[in-house]
Amino acid sequence: MKKILCLNGPNLNRLGKREVDVYGTETYEALENLVVEWSGKLGITVECRQSNHEGVLIDSLHEAFDAGFAGVLMNPAALTHSSYSLRDAIASISPVPVVEVHISNIHARESFRHQSITAPVCIGQISGFGFDGYYLGLLALVRAIQCGEEKKR
Ligand code: DQA
């Protein structure tokens, strides 16, 4: 079974308590439970990780490559808008596909959120669909992994 890493960045552990008008009242734990449930339906396995530390997220990306994960679904949170080292880490694990996901619509918020440093090295970005964006991201990864396998044949 294909293994996907679901990686979540700073402050996402505060879901349900932080800015509930933007991110809703559901907790991070509820999000992880949904991601695991959706993975089962899509026939993949998922490992969820969350860290408030840039270096830990970078190490997780490297580990995903070394451990043979088929893809990464990542919400880099605020590091999306600031982190060149995270961008380089994503680029460094190519050809492992990475999908960027955001709960809120970053393009409809403050201007500093409109730019993503990380999206150009991802295969795509999903933004604005709440927790459902994680389902869309998993689906996109499954399709991308299948396409990659067909091309190799
Ligand atoms: C976020 C959007 C980011 O701008 C913000 O810093 C977050 C969460 C989202 O999921 O909507 O922490 O990535």
Cα 28 to Cα 24, 84, 87, 88, 105, distances in angstroms: 11, 26, 24, 26, 18
**The pLDDT value given to residue 152:** 79
Q: Could you tell me the two tokens for 86? A: 């995270």
Task: Work out the average pLDDT over 12-23.
Answer: 97
Task: Work out the average pLDDT over 61-81.
Answer: 98
Residue 81 Cα: closest atom of ligand 1: 4
Ligand 1 centroid–CA 33 distance in Å is 19
| Contacts of 8 by beta carbon, 8 Å cutoff, 6+ apart | 28, 31, 48, 49, 50, 51, 74, 75, 77
Mean pLDDT over all residues of the chain? 97
| Contacts of 131 by beta carbon, 8 Å cutoff, 6+ apart | 24, 26, 30, 31, 34, 103
Q: In the structure, which protein residues have their CB atom closer than 6 angstroms to any atom of ligand 1?
A: 11, 75, 77-78, 80, 102-104, 106, 113
Catalytic site residue 62? no
pLDDT in tens, 129-153: 999 999 999 999 999 999 888 887 8
* Active-site hit among 23, 28, 134, 135: 23
Check pLDDT > 90 for residue 41. Answer: yes
**The pLDDT value given to residue 153:** 80
- Assigned fold of 2-152: Rossmann fold (3.40.50)
